[in-house]
Amino acid sequence: MKQIYEKMKEIGLGKLILLLAAGVALLLLSFPKESAGGSTAIPTIRLSEQESTENEYYEQRFQEVLENTKGMGVCKVMLSPERDGIVVVTEGAADPAAVSEITYAAEVLFGIPAHKVKVLPYN
């Protein structure tokens, strides 16, 4: 016990407190957090997974907007991982005016140039 005390004294109180705080922080991060819905979520996310989740959110929102637009019908949206290109599959792809509107919407919402927007017909 005396050896431990001597070692702690040698390290210094400030460094010891910092080491202890870092240990507690690592411990807290290693346990899953409870979300408001009651499901357990892991607090750490790799950057690529976070980007994927954000892309899925934007894809879903854009799809909802398109499906609620007159003449579009069923839509599926896929945004490139870098968000510099988009593919939209829709029943409204047969109408050139609808394709133009989708292209313009992608330009406005995502800043994607028209030549990187592809609208395909839905089967």
- Domain residue spans of the chain: 2-41, 47-121
Percent of the chain with pLDDT over 90: 27
**CA atoms of 57 and 1, how far apart (whole Å):** 56
Domain 47-121 belongs to what topology? GMP Synthetase; Chain A, domain 3 (3.30.300)
- 48-68 mean pLDDT: 81
Q: Please give the radius of gyration of the chain, using alpha carbons only, rounded to the nearest integer.
A: 26
Q: Output the 3-class SS for 15-64.
A: HHHHHHHHHHHHHHHHCCEECCCCCEECCCCCHHHHHHHHHHHHHHHHHH
Tokens of 104: 């313009």
- 27-55 mean pLDDT: 58
- How confident is the model at residue 45, as a pLDDT? 47
Q: What is the pLDDT of residues 67-112, one digit of tens each?
A: 888 888 889 999 988 888 999 999 989 899 999 999 999 999 889 9
